Each structure stands twice: as C-alpha cells, then as structure tokens.
A and B are shown apart, each in its own frame.
Chain A
Amino acid sequence: EIVLTQSPATLSLSPGERATLSCRASQSVGSYLAWYQQKPGQAPRLVIYDSSNRATGIPARFSGGGSGTDFTLTISSLEPEDFAVYYCQQGDNWPLTFGGGTKVEIK
C-alpha cells in the first residue's frame, strides 16, 4: 500500500498570501495524484488531478505540480473561501490511498 505523507499538518496564512502544500508518496505514483478540498460540514471536492490538471470550475489560482514521489499544491493568493483542509490521493495503485490532510487556516 502506498503511503502519502502531507506537510505541514497546519498552515496559518492571511488572505492574499501564497499557500504551498506538500504530499510525499512512499513509492513512485508517476503523475497520478489528485488534490481535494474539504470545508467543514461538506463533502470533499476534486481540485487537481494528474498532478497538475485543474478540475472543472476550479479557479486558476490553484496549481499543482510534481511527479514520482513529491508533489505540491499551490494557491497563489488565498481567498477567504480557500481556507479548508486539503487531501492528496494517489490514483495509480490499488488500494487507492489518501494523505492525512493539511489544514489551511486563517492567521
């Protein structure tokens, strides 16, 4: 089973700042990594798939990158609605696995 480790656990930033989240895989997943956003009391929402492709309706301030074992999600300028928990998920191997999440909170 591929283990995904996200860092940091919590990111405290102000609106307008840049957020950089990390996801590291225990073995290569190629470029087959997704990011999800989850707000309190809501279901997760797909943000990025295949490492760098934005899902439908996701603003351009969200970008993803990386391959192999190291991936990043960047939010170029945080909007109030971006404060949430973000999870990575690898789609390359069974069982599918999620990272433990990074909470982006308002500083």
Chain B
Amino acid sequence: EVQLVQSGAEVKKPGESLKISCQTSGYTFSSYWIGWVRQMPGKGLEWMGIVYPGDSDTRYSPSFQGQVTISADRSSATAFLQWSSLKASDTAIFYCARLVSLGRAFYFDLWGRGTLVAVSS
C-alpha cells in the first residue's frame, strides 16, 4: 500500500528548532517529488516547497524561502521539514504530499494525515 506517515504533533516555544518527518512506503521514493503544504488554523492551503529525493533538488515558494528547510533521506524514504527558530505564526498543520507530473503539470496525488505544530510561550 502506498502511504505517507507523518510524525506526531509538536508543542514548542518561540525560538526553538524543529524537524518533522514524512515516512513513505509502497512506491519508489527517489522517483517522485515530495512537498509540504501549510494550513494555518481555519485557513486554506499554502504550498511551501518540494524536494526530489533522487538528487535532493529543492524548490521553495517565495513566501517560505529562507524560513524553512526541506530535505529527504533516500535510505529511510523519508522527507523532512525543519525550522531553526520557530515563531508563534508558524502554528499550523503541515501536510506532506507526493507530487506527480502528469504530462507538463504537477499535482499532489497522495497526502499524509498532517502534523500539528503549535508554537506558544
């Protein structure tokens, strides 16, 4: 079965660092882009960035460039999203999702269940 399993909810303080994970199974990890999507409380979806595990190529939304780091580990078929210094405004649910290229375009065909990150002093 193809699935993305995300790490559990986190409660952190402003200024702390954090790395959340998305472990994949059931498909060739290195052959698909995998990305992260933010959903702030009661709000819509925001694309943050993606990584191609085959060569670690990454692309970021301008809104998130420099704010987070996206990476992947082929040996464990896991993607990561990390912050070096969290802010209260980082409080959100973060979804990992597999990106498929259907011809010329890119869509998210498989999603994890989400990781809730709560940042509060």
A residues adjacent to B (C-beta < 8 A)? 1, 30, 32, 34, 36, 38, 42-46, 49-50, 55, 87, 89, 91-92, 94-101
Contacts and interface: CB of A to CB of B under 8 A. Distances in A.
Nearest to B47: A96
Contacts of A91: 102, 105-107
The 9 A-B pairs of least Cβ separation, nearest first, read A91-B105, A32-B105, A43-B111, A95-B61, A98-B45, A91-B106, A34-B107, A96-B47, A101-B44
How many chain B residues sit at the interface, stated as a range, is 20 to 34
Given A43-B95, A43-B114, A44-B95, A87 B44 contact: yes
B109 interface: yes
A98 B61 CA distance: 12
A105 B45 CA distance: 19
Given A1-B62, A50-B102, A95 B107 contact: no
Interface of B: 37, 44-47, 59-63, 95, 97, 102-109, 111-114
Contacts of A89: 45, 47, 107-108
From A1, A46, A49, A96, name the one whose CB has the most chain B CB atoms within 10 angstroms: A96
B108 A44 contact: yes
A99 B45 CA distance: 8
A87 B111 contact: no
